[in-house]
A and B are shown apart, each in its own frame.
Chain A
Amino acid sequence: MVSGSTDLPGAGSSMESAPAVDLRNITKRFGAVTACDQIDLALTRGRIHGILGENGAGKSTLMKILIGLVLPDEGSITIDGEATQIHSPLAAAELGIGMVHQHFSLVDPLTVWENVALGDAGRLDPNAIRNRIGNIADQYGLRIEPDARVGDLTAGLRQRVEIIKCLRRDPSIVIFDEPTSVLTPEESVQLFASLRQVVADEGRAVVLVSHKLDEVLHATDDITIMRQGKVVDRLLAADADAPTLARGMVGRDVSLRSERAALGVLAVDDPPVDHVLAQPDGTPVLEILGATAHAPDGRAVLNNFSLKLHAGEIVGIAGVEGNGQRELGDLLSSLISLDAGSVVVDGHKITPGRSGAMARAGVGVIPEDRHDSGIVLDMSLAENLILVDQSAVAPKGFIDHGALEAHANAMIEQFDIQCSGPHAPMWSLSGGNQQRVVLARELSQQPKVLVAAQPTRGLDVGAIEYMSDRLRAAADDGVAVLLISSELEEILDMSHRIVVMHAGRLVGEMPRADVDLERLGLMMGGATV
């Protein structure tokens, strides 16, 4: 089991065999940030080891060290009793370490067998690879068509390819990095079933990296909890319960409802008490009618999608990532135009895709990727706050620096932004504070509609709590909030009404109180129930 740790409960009979992997004292710094701080980790054959931690706890960095993508600054790696160094993914593969990546390591335009062949050496023999894929498929129940183009596959099937690609080299150590983030609940269950088989077979050591308590609790044998680059606890899954894990992960007792929802502790089929909204008044503030848009390859990313949003309500868009949620956000950010359909904001028809039109009509957006489209990292906090609308500080086209600073100071106070001042460069702020800047900017426009796309992604628990409160407060003030999130718990916790998207279509809609999880899961998988 987890040798080298002093506080291990229930260390059993397998202590005498050398661990498959023994990491000692692993430290990795990126500039001033210590991503991994003197980490010890031991993996045992025949067992699934869960590594639990919030975003940014250092889990991914640790795994990248093990797979040869990142070199540690300090520490030693011992594989099957032999000290070694892992300089590249190829070296890791030779040591028998394979990884199923969180963001797939697949190349879309290539076929399944071509992807599986990537990274091998020697002559390219398509038939041998097709046969190998067939064998693995039979052995683990991972059926796949070897000549299908990977870009055409669903997320679940793509992950299947990823797993086959990993297993093809017959690794003795397999790492799964956040494997369920792109799967429907049903697909996740299937995944964990094949995971068990991977372990049972030939005594592989498996690592499951996750930020979801539930998953780690039910699918693993040993658990290591990480926080801020350090290992804070090691325990056996059999001895663990959700509150203990949550406390280890966050560093204090977790009591608030949204925190528990964010961590997946909450039993999601119990609806929040305060979430029954009085029947909204008749006229919707946002009305999307039959929106249809196509990707350059001809695939419909939005397919006859219609939605009405009323003042004061929070509507959650549930669905597996990549089913049109991003495009819906893009539509309401004026980033894409429609092939058919229309968007009406507050009674006015808005031309989709005309730069800034949605924002002028009163649609505020907290974008999915704040670094990509939410903020400009190299500009100051004050400048970022006026990116959408400069009229308040630059009435004649010249920026009034006094007004700019006053505006920034007001926002810093109102939204409690931790920073060195209004001229602090954006990159010097933490993720949670960057998100507050985005929120401050959008709310100061006094929007009628607020689109929050993955608003808590990558934030720590305290920041999640703040964001959730602010969104609720906005709704209470009469803003119509559209919440797009891949975390089902977040949607269930926040929304008055839930809409399910699949393949760009609206496949189901229900008030929060009527949610039936099984039905919701089926809908996310594309079934019309």
Chain B
Amino acid sequence: MGGFFQAFWDIASSNSTYLNGALFAAFLAFAATGEWVAERAGTLNISVEGMLLAGAFTSAVGYNITESMILALFCGVLGGLIIAGVQAEMSHRLTADQFVVGLTLNILVLGLAGFLDNEIQPATKLASSFDVPLLSDLPLIGQALFGQRWPFYVLYPLIPFTWWLVYRTRWGLELRSVGENPQSADVSGIDVNKRRRQSIYYAGFTSGLGGWFLIFGQIGLFEDSVIGGRGFIAIAAVIFGGWTLRGTLAGCIIFAGALSFRLSVQGLGYEVNSELLQSLPFIVTLLGMAIFAHRVRAPAALAQPFVRGLK
């Protein structure tokens, strides 16, 4: 047991644990922020996985062509928006089942990304680091939160902006009402499916940013396995967080902690079965869901399609 605690302490006091944890959390947060918006409007948007992968791929290709990370950002957003467009128009204009559409999209994007990656083989690199003066000198979390590569910092304005959008604007009020009671929203004169489509586009936007961040802020190269199911962990973070933005971010941090812990265990030379470690974040996610999922209240119309005129 002593060994266990020693190991735990080593990991908890290692800077790299926090550094990696922040990177993982940031990536999840990009995706989960938009996913949260989509779910508040009533779509359980499982194509977030595909949006992330598309965003990562198109930003890599964008950089390959333009050699500009800023332009790559726009390409990444475009990639996310394209997948969002298919999801939104299919599920909230043609009223196809949102899960079938999402599932299909995820598989399609995975296949396309693998194929096109081989064809194009986009060359990318990591962005430069930027230390925020003073703050980056804080112990443990200083480097993790304020000593990252610059794409990391895009997240900082994104979160309060999203909060403001959802809680302080008319658009946000309408999208919340659409997720809770689409019939009432319709009667009040709100175009329910339009708001839902827009909220999915917002998820595409943030996921596109997330894909771009992953390439230029974290790993520096594209492979078709870069997302590796973490889009689904982002969905779990929204549920874990009880459909509040604060809770969603807390979920991202906890799940990222598990991902980071896994890396640190190996990095610090402890020997644990690596397959078991691989599954750790998912086990934590499941446990988190088991403990918290029944205590929170989902948007009342989550995952329910809305068709006008039907009762």
Interface residues of A (CB under 8 A from B): 69-70, 88-90, 93, 99, 101, 103-110, 114, 117-124, 165, 296-297
A122 near B170: Cβ-Cβ < 8 Å: yes
Known A-B contacts: A104-B184, A107-B177. Give 12 more (CB < 8 A). A69-B186, A89-B188, A89-B189, A105-B184, A107-B176, A110-B173, A114-B173, A118-B177, A122-B170, A124-B168, A124-B173, A165-B188
A107 near B184: Cβ-Cβ < 8 Å: yes
Per-residue interface assignment for chain B, residues 291 to 311, with 1 indicating a CB less than 8 Å from any chain A CB and 0 otherwise? 000000100100000000100
Query: Within 8 Å of chain A (Cβ to Cβ): is B169?
Result: yes
Residue numbers in B under 8 Å from A103 (CB-CB): 183
Interface residues of B (CB under 8 A from A): 168-170, 173-174, 176-177, 180-181, 183-190, 297, 300, 309
B181 near A108: Cβ-Cβ < 8 Å: yes
B189 near A101: Cβ-Cβ < 8 Å: no
Residue numbers in B under 8 Å from A165 (CB-CB): 188
B170 near A117: Cβ-Cβ < 8 Å: yes
Report the Cα distance A103→B187, complex, angstroms: 10
B181 near A123: Cβ-Cβ < 8 Å: no
A108 near B173: Cβ-Cβ < 8 Å: no
Residue numbers in B under 8 Å from A121 (CB-CB): 170
Report the Cα distance A99→B184, complex, angstroms: 12
Residue from the list A119, A124, A296 in contact with B188, Cβ < 8 A = A119
B170 near A120: Cβ-Cβ < 8 Å: yes
Report the Cα distance A119→B190, complex, angstroms: 6
Query: Residue on B with the closest CB to A89?
Result: B189
B170 near A124: Cβ-Cβ < 8 Å: yes
Closest 3 CB pairs of A and B: A119-B188, A105-B187, A90-B189
For the complex formed, measure the closest distance between the CB of B153 and the CB atoms of chain A, giving whole angstroms: 29
Residue numbers in A under 8 Å from B309 (CB-CB): 69-70
A118 near B168: Cβ-Cβ < 8 Å: no
Report the Cα distance A425→B184, complex, angstroms: 32
A110 near B169: Cβ-Cβ < 8 Å: no
Residue numbers in B under 8 Å from A90 (CB-CB): 189
Prevailing SS type, chain A contact patch: loop
Report the Cα distance A105→B309, complex, angstroms: 14
B187 near A89: Cβ-Cβ < 8 Å: yes
A107 near B189: Cβ-Cβ < 8 Å: no
Residue numbers in A under 8 Å from B180 (CB-CB): 107-110
A-B contact pairs, 30 of them (CB 8 A): A69-B187, A89-B186, A89-B187, A89-B188, A90-B189, A93-B189, A99-B187, A101-B187, A105-B187, A105-B188, A107-B180, A107-B184, A107-B185, A108-B180, A109-B176, A109-B297, A110-B173, A110-B177, A114-B173, A114-B177, A118-B173, A118-B177, A118-B184, A118-B188, A118-B190, A119-B189, A119-B190, A123-B170, A124-B169, A124-B173
Residue numbers in B under 8 Å from A69 (CB-CB): 186-187, 309
Residue numbers in B under 8 Å from A120 (CB-CB): 170
Query: Residue on B with the closest CB to A110?
Result: B177
A107 near B181: Cβ-Cβ < 8 Å: yes
Report the Cα distance A105→B173, complex, angstroms: 15
For the complex formed, measure the closest distance between the CB of B74 and the CB atoms of chain A, giving whole angstroms: 28
Report the Cα distance A118→B168, complex, angstroms: 13
For the complex formed, measure the closest distance between the CB of B171 and the CB atoms of chain A, giving whole angstroms: 9
Report the Cα distance A70→B309, complex, angstroms: 7
For the complex formed, measure the closest distance between the CB of B189 and the CB atoms of chain A, giving whole angstroms: 4
Residue from the list A117, A118, A124, A297 in contact with B185, Cβ < 8 A = A118
Query: Residue on B with the closest CB to A105?
Result: B187
Residue numbers in B under 8 Å from A88 (CB-CB): 189
For the complex formed, measure the closest distance between the CB of A112 and the CB atoms of chain B, giving whole angstroms: 13
Tell which of A105, A118, A123, A297 has the most Cβ of chain B within 10 Å: A118
For the complex formed, measure the closest distance between the CB of B144 and the CB atoms of chain A, giving whole angstroms: 35
Residue from the list B168, B177, B186, B297 in contact with A297, Cβ < 8 A = B297
Residue numbers in A under 8 Å from B297 (CB-CB): 109, 296-297
Residue numbers in A under 8 Å from B168 (CB-CB): 124
Residue numbers in A under 8 Å from B183 (CB-CB): 103, 105
Query: Residue on B with the closest CB to A30?
Result: B309
For the complex formed, measure the closest distance between the CB of B265 and the CB atoms of chain A, giving whole angstroms: 39
Residue numbers in B under 8 Å from A297 (CB-CB): 297
Report the Cα distance A108→B184, complex, angstroms: 10
Report the Cα distance A121→B174, complex, angstroms: 10
For the complex formed, measure the closest distance between the CB of A30 and the CB atoms of chain B, giving whole angstroms: 9
A110 near B176: Cβ-Cβ < 8 Å: yes
Report the Cα distance A123→B168, complex, angstroms: 10
Residue numbers in B under 8 Å from A99 (CB-CB): 187
Report the Cα distance A123→B173, complex, angstroms: 11
Query: Residue on A with the closest CB to B296?
Result: A296
For the complex formed, measure the closest distance between the CB of A336 and the CB atoms of chain B, giving whole angstroms: 16
Report the Cα distance A473→B174, complex, angstroms: 52
Query: Residue on B with the closest CB to A123?
Result: B170
Tell which of B168, B181, B187 has the most Cβ of chain A within 10 Å: B187
Query: Residue on A with the closest CB to B177?
Result: A107
Report the Cα distance A120→B189, complex, angstroms: 8
Report the Cα distance A124→B180, complex, angstroms: 19
Residue numbers in A under 8 Å from B170 (CB-CB): 117, 120-124
Residue numbers in B under 8 Å from A70 (CB-CB): 309
Tell which of B176, B184, B185, B190 has the most Cβ of chain A within 10 Å: B184
For the complex formed, measure the closest distance between the CB of A62 and the CB atoms of chain B, giving whole angstroms: 15
